[in-house]
């Protein structure tokens, strides 16, 4: 699996899986604390119904990710080294197996 945030890419062998990224509405600001959604309630409902039931049934985890300010995202003062990130990612399958 490869995850990309801004210009950073992290890769690890996590087995098979699928990651979906969805907005809550057509304008993309549904639930955003800083910018108001311009969609009507019917537009939001219609947009959210477009995701098929069988696809949603196969989802194991739903995570809402709030907006992160650009300056905070690009701040490297508390960033860990790539080797440390790699070690944490390589340990994930073990931790998941122990949790189950």
- The reported pLDDT for the residue numbered 27 is 94
At residue 78, the pLDDT reads: 76
Cα separation, 53 vs 48, in Å, equals 11
Report the range of poorest mean pLDDT among 1-5, 23-27, 32-36, 48-52. Answer: 1-5
The average pLDDT across 29-54 equals 90
Q: What is the pLDDT of residue 17?
A: 72
With beta carbons less than 8 A apart as the criterion, state whether 39 and 10 touch: no
Determine the Cα–Cα distance for residues 33 and 13; give it in Å rounded to an integer: 35
């Amino acid at each position: 699996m490869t995850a990309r945030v801004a210009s950073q890419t992290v890769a690890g062998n996590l087995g098979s899986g699928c990651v979906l990224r969805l907005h809550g509405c057509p304008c993309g600001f549904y639930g955003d604390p800083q910018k108001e959604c311009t969609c009507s309630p019917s537009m939001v409902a219609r947009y959210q119904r477009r995701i098929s039931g069988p696809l949603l049934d196969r989802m194991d985890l739903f995570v809402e990710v709030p907006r992160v300010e650009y300056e905070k995202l690009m701040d490297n003062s508390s960033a860990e080294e790539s080797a440390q990130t790699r070690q944490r990612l390589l340990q994930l399958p073990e931790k998941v197996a122990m949790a189950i």
